[in-house]
A and B are shown apart, each in its own frame.
Chain A
Amino acid sequence: MILFDRFELENGLQVIVHQDKTTPIVAVNLLYKVGSRNENPERTGFAHLFEHLMFDGSKNISDFDQQLQLAGGECNAFTNNDYTNYYLTLPKQNIETAFWLESDRMLELGITKEKLEIQKGVVIEEYNQRYLNKPYGDWMLIMRYLAYKKHPYMWPTIGKDTLEIKYASLDEVNSFFYNYYAPNNAILVVAGDVETKQIRQLAEKWFGPIPRRDTRIAPLPTEPEQKIPQFLLLKRHEPLNAIYKGFHMDGRLGSRYHAADLISDILSGGESSRLTQHLVKEQKIFTNVNAYITGEIDPGLFIVEGKLSDGVTFAQAEECISNELKSIWNSPISETELTKVKNNIEVKKTISEVNVLNKAMNLAYFEMLGDANLINTDVDNYQQITASDISQTAKLLFRRENSTTIHYKSAQKSKQ
C-alpha cells in the first residue's frame, strides 16, 4: 500500500507527497498533461522537441543540468502520445534545488533561435537513431498512419517526418509553452524521506508565485470504429520477412483494457506463453514473435508481431496467428493460465514499489488518469478478470475488420 498526501496550490498545481523513510534519495516528478496527441497536425513531433528545449535554460537559470549535477542530482524526461514527464532524483538534503529548477522552467523559458536550431538537429539525429537507422524501425510510424483516420494517435510522438520539426519557429515554441506548461495543467509528485508540511512550504515558495494560465486544450476527435481491415505490403532491403498487426482496443480507463492486457501476457508473456510455445517452438513458423499493448489513455492498439522462419509464407504465418487468436475466444483459458498471468501482475506491482522514482512516476500517471490511488487499486481490476472476460474481449478484439497489417517482404540487395 502506497500512502500519500494530496493538495492543490491556488494556481491549480496539483501536488502529491509520498513518504519513504528508507532512502537517502528524493524523487521529484513533474508531469505536464500534454503529449503528441495535442499537437497541430502540421507540426507533429513538437511536444517532444519542446521537451528537449526545457533543458536549454530558463528565465533565471542558464544551465539546468549543471545546477542539478552540482547538487548531486540526475534527471531525464520523456514524451509520449499522452503526456510529457520530467523527473529527477537527488540527495534528500538538496531537495530545494529541485524546486528552484523545476519552478523556473515552468515560469518562463530562455530559448533563443540558436538554441532552437541546435535542438532541432539533436532531435533529428534522435529520429534517425531510433526509427530510421535500423531494420523495421519505422513500422510503428506506418502502423499508426494506417490504423487511425481521425485521432492524433495517427502520428508517432517523434513526428510524421523530420521536416515538420525543421519548420518549428520560436513563436510556436512560446505559444505552446504558455498554453500547456501551466501550473494548472501539471502534477508534481515528491517521493522520499520528506514531510508533507515541508513540501507544501517549498511548493508554495517556488511554484506558488507562478500565475494560473488561460489554457485552451482542444477536445480530441474520437476515432471511428474501423470497418475494413487495413493492409500494406512493403518490399524492403530488410533482412527477413516480418509481420506487424495492430487491433484497436480500449483506452486506459475502458472496461476491457485490463482483459486485453492479460491477453497479451497469455499470448506472449515469457517463454511459456502461447505464441512462443506454439508458433516458435512447436510449429517453427516464426523465429521470434511478440504481443503487447500500446497502453495509451485513448483507445490504443493491441500489437502482434513476428519474424518469419525461412521458407514460411506470409499466408501460412497469418493463418497460424489467426488460429492462436481465435483459440483465445473459442476455448476458455485454464485456471492455471489465468493464475499465472495474475501472479505476474502481482510481481510487477511489487517490483514497481522498490524505488522512489518509480513510485513518484506512477503516482503522477495515475493522478493524471483521475486518481493517484489507482496505484493501489488498479491491480484489483486485473485480479477480477474471469476466463469469460478474456474470451469475450478476445472475440471483440481480434475481428478481421478491426485489424491493420503490415508485411515487410525482404528484397535481397543486389550485390555491389
Chain B
Amino acid sequence: MNNELNRQKAPVYHQITKIDIPTVESGRLANQMPYHILNGGSQELVYLELKFNAGHTYAEVLVSTFTSAMLVGGTKHHNAQQIADTFEFYGAEVRADSNSDHAMVSLFCMNKYLDKLLPLFCELIEESVFPESELQIMIADRKHKYVVNHTKTSVLASDAMYKMVFGPHTYGRRAQLSDYDNVNSDTLRQFYAKHFCAANGKLLIAGYVTESVLRSIDATIGQLTAGQPVAPHTMPIEPVSGDKTQIIKMTDAVQSSLRMGLATIRMDHPDYHKLHMLTMVLGGYFGSRLMTNIRKEKGYTYGIYSILFPQIQSGLLRVMGDIKSGYSTQVADEVRKEMQKLKDQPISDAEMALVRNYMMGEMLQMFDGPFTSCDAVAKAIDMGVGIQYFEDEQNSILNTTPLELQEIANKYFDLDHLATAIAGNE
C-alpha cells in the first residue's frame, strides 16, 4: 500500500445532481386565509409569519412602516409593556415589519408555549389601538435613526440608486425627515382596519408543525375577521431616463459607497432562473467576477456583490460595494466592463462547472431544515411561483449552457439604463 499522500490532487468530489425540495402543505384556515406549512427540524420550535398585502405600495409614505411597527404598541386589552412582557417571558420573538409589497408580523417560539401566546398574537392583528403616546416614542426613535443613517454613505447611495431606477414608482420613494411629523394614529388605524384581515393575508408556518399546532392556529388565527382583499396600486416602471449617474459628495467619508441598479424581470418570468445564475457569475459568490477583480486582484474593497432582488411589480439587479476613497468611479467602470464581457464572450466550461456546483451546494444548504429555507420559500409564494420554483431552479442550474448565459446577458444587461450612485469623498 502506498502511503505517500498526494496533496496536489483534490480528493474526488461528487456532483450534486438532486436536491430534495421539501413539500409545502397548503390549505385554508376556517376564515379562508391561505396557509403554507414547511415542516421539519428536530427542535420543538415553530415560526409563524403572517403577511398582508399592505406594503409601502399600498399607502402614503411611512404609513405601512408605522402601522406594522405599532402592532406591538398596544391592543384593546393589553398595553405595550404587557405585550412585551408576555412574549418575552416565554422567550418568544415577535417581529412586525414591512417592505414595498407586504406588511408582516411573525412569531417564533417553542412549541410548548404556542398556546399561551396565540391569543395575544391575534390581538395584535385584530385589536391594535395605536396609542398616541407609544406612537410619539416610536417616531422620536425612528427620526433619530433616520438622522444617524443619513450620515452613512451606504444609505445615501442606496436611496439615490432606488430613486433613479424606479423614478415616480413607489418602489423608488424614500421618506424625508419631515414626513415623520405627518404620521398620525388615525391614518394608521384606517390603514390597519382595511388591510390586516384574513382575506388580504396569508400565513406561513415553519418548524416542528404537528397536527395540534395547526389545530391551535385554526382556533385562533383561523377565527380572525375575513374582510376584503386589497389590490395593489400598480404603476408602470419606466427605464431610467436622463442622468444615470449621481455622485453625492461627502468630504468626511473615508470610503465611498457604490450602488448600481437596473429594473428587470420578475420572478415569474421564464428567464429569471438564468438571470439569477448570471448574476451569480457576476457578483454572487466569493469566486465571482467582481470579487476576483475588485477585491482579490486590486484590494479596493472588502466586498462587492451583485444580487437579483425580486419584487411583485419588478425585479431589481443590484450591485453594491464600499470602495476605497477615490476609486469608486473606476470601480463602476470595471463593473460595466465585467457586464460587457459577459455579453461578449461565453463563460468557460470550468467557470460554468464552478458556479453550477456552488449553486447546487448553496441550494442544498438552504434546504437544511425549515428555518434556513423559510425566507426563500415565503418569497417564492409571495411572488406567485410557489415551491415549484426550486425544482425549476435546480433544472436550470444543471442544464443551462454558457451560450445561453451569454444570450441572457445580451438580453438583460442593459448598460444604457444601469443607474449608478456613489456617495463619498469622490
Contacts and interface: CB of A to CB of B under 8 A. Distances in A.
A69 B298 contact: no
B73 to A, nearest CB: 10
A366 interface: no
B181 to A, nearest CB: 13
Given A74-B365, A129-B255, A344 B91 contact: yes
A24 B364 CA distance: 8
Contacts of B365: 25, 74, 89
Contacts of B5: 205-206, 209
Nearest to B42: A22
Contacts of B287: 63, 65-66, 69
Contact of B8 (A60, A73, A129, A309): A60
Contacts of A104: 7
Contacts of B302: 122-123, 125-126, 129
A135 interface: yes
A125 B364 contact: no
A290 to B, nearest CB: 13
A69 B297 contact: no
B407 to A, nearest CB: 24
Contacts of B20: 24
Nearest to A410: B147
Chain A interface size, as a band, is: 35 or more
Nearest to B295: A122
A272 B88 contact: yes
B358 interface: yes
A132 B300 CA distance: 16
Contacts of A91: 14, 16, 361, 364
A91 to B, nearest CB: 6
A133 interface: yes
A309 B143 CA distance: 11
A71 B301 contact: no
Contacts of A118: 296-299
A72 B151 contact: no
A350 B151 contact: no
B84 interface: yes
Given A69-B357, A97-B13, A343 B89 contact: yes
Contact of B13 (A70, A128, A287, A348): A70
A346 B113 CA distance: 12
A228 to B, nearest CB: 32
B369 interface: yes
Contact of A70 (B45, B88, B90, B353): B353
Chain A CB count within 10 A is highest, among B42, B44, B297, for: B42
A347 B91 contact: yes
A135 B151 contact: yes
Nearest to B147: A239
B2 interface: no
Contacts of B153: 133
B91 A117 contact: no
B299 A70 contact: no
A394 B200 CA distance: 49
Contacts of B323: 125
Interface string A273-284: 100010011001
Contact of A271 (B11, B72, B152, B296): B72
Nearest to A347: B91
B41 interface: yes
B255 A307 contact: no
Chain B CB count within 10 A is highest, among A23, A124, A129, A209, for: A129
Given A69-B357, A281-B137, A336 B89 contact: yes
A74 B361 contact: yes
Contacts of B110: 346-347, 350
7 contacts: A60-B8, A123-B302, A135-B151, A270-B88, A271-B88, A343-B90, A356-B368
